[in-house]
Amino acid sequence: MSGVGEMNEILLRPKVEFDVPVEAEVISPDLFAEKSHEEIGSLPVFLGNRKMCLKDLFEIEGQSSTNIVLEGDFSRVKKIGYGMSRGKIHIKGNVGMHTGATMKGGEIIVEGDAMDWLGAEMNGGLIWVKGSVGHFAGASYWGSKHGMNRGMILIEGNTGNEVGKKMRRGTIAIKGKTGDFLGVGMIGGTILAFSETGERPGAEMKRGSIVLFLENCTNPPPLLPTFTYNCTYSPTFLRVYLKTLRKLGFPVKEEYISGKYRRYNGDIVELGKGEILIYEP
């Protein structure tokens, strides 16, 4: 992780507290690369319905970099890193909706919280949120056939509902609590949820894996009746996933790696080839 003041990075700070939403998909390494300070400052953003320049809303330091640092409250700034394919955005604060949605590559690190649609329909890259996130992280947008298609989303805090909705590939790991309908309609991919989860995880999933560790969870929600228990075992693939997370620096307890898991398959109203693995302490 890079700190402020490092060579060759671009630093943005909001000039004011935004009272209406800002749309700023131009805050993206793809667009900041090979642009002068002046050119970056002239990129278009929307403050509500007013089209403005980036420099009207933000203090900008630096130029021509794929390494972007955001300082301050960006919780009303939407679409940061939308569709980005490379480079890095480090957000030292909270961030608004659609952060990293449809991104194809690169890295986004959020020190604070992120709002809904984080990494929605993403196609690659890494998003790491230290705080909590809203609904629909890694999900499909309304009407779409599938959500996240590749890449990785790591969340240390809690999440809202329908995380990983209709995801097809990729990995989502959540340290904190997750909301209802985790991995609803999943087509593939892997979700690892370390704490408590809301109701109906895996509903309507066709394929894919949801792993529940239910840490500190005294009263886990019952699975849907359309999931059926198969066996208790130690899935090797899970060891690979957990080791990979650890290598990246995401906290994973040793006992999970060698642990046993109850395997349920479902959702039998759909294809039924999905699975929920529940850690057995």
Residue 162 makes contact with another protein by CB under 8 A: yes
Residue 180 makes contact with another protein by CB under 8 A: yes
- Cβ closer to another protein: 218 or 236? 236
Q: Residue count at the site for another protein (CB under 8 A)?
A: 65
User: What ranges make up the beta strands (E) of 72-208?
Assistant: 77-78, 88-92, 107-110, 123-129, 150-155, 171-174, 190-193
Residue 16 makes contact with another protein by CB under 8 A: no
Residue 150 makes contact with another protein by CB under 8 A: yes
Residue 260 makes contact with another protein by CB under 8 A: no
Smallest CA-to-CA distance from 281 within 218, 224, 192 is with 218
Kindly state the smallest distance separating residue 85's Cβ from another protein, in Å: 15
Site string for another protein, 46-85 (x = CB under 8 A): xxxxxx------------------------x---------
Residue 233 makes contact with another protein by CB under 8 A: yes
Residue 203 makes contact with another protein by CB under 8 A: yes
Residue 160 makes contact with another protein by CB under 8 A: yes
Residue 240 makes contact with another protein by CB under 8 A: yes
**Residue selected from 2, 8, 36, 144 as contacting another protein according to rule CB under 8 A:** 144
Residue 23 makes contact with another protein by CB under 8 A: yes
- Cβ closer to another protein: 91 or 203? 203
Residue 86 makes contact with another protein by CB under 8 A: no
Smallest CA-to-CA distance from 228 within 276, 177, 171 is with 276
Q: Please, which contacts does 238-245 make with residues 24 or more away whose CB atoms are closer than 8 Å?
A: 238/211, 238/277, 241/171, 241/190, 241/192, 242/192, 245/154, 245/173, 245/192
Which contiguous run of DSSP H or E holds residue 58?
A: strand 58-61
Residue 3 makes contact with another protein by CB under 8 A: no
Q: Are 173 and 250 in contact (CB under 8 A)?
A: yes
246 CB burial (10 A radius; 0-12, 13-18, 19+): middle
Q: Are strands 150-155 and 171-174 parallel, antiparallel or unpaired?
A: parallel
Residues in CB range of 160: below 8 A, 6 or more apart = 116, 133, 134, 135, 136, 137, 179
* Integer Cα distance of 215 and 230 in angstroms: 22
Among all chains, which residue has been given the structure tokens 């690190």?
A: 109
Residue 275 makes contact with another protein by CB under 8 A: yes
Residues that bind another protein (CB under 8 A): 19-21, 23, 46-51, 76, 97, 116-117, 134-136, 141-145, 150, 152, 160-162, 169-171, 179-181, 184-185, 188-190, 199-200, 203-204, 207, 209, 224-226, 228, 233-237, 239-241, 243-244, 257-258, 267-269, 273, 275
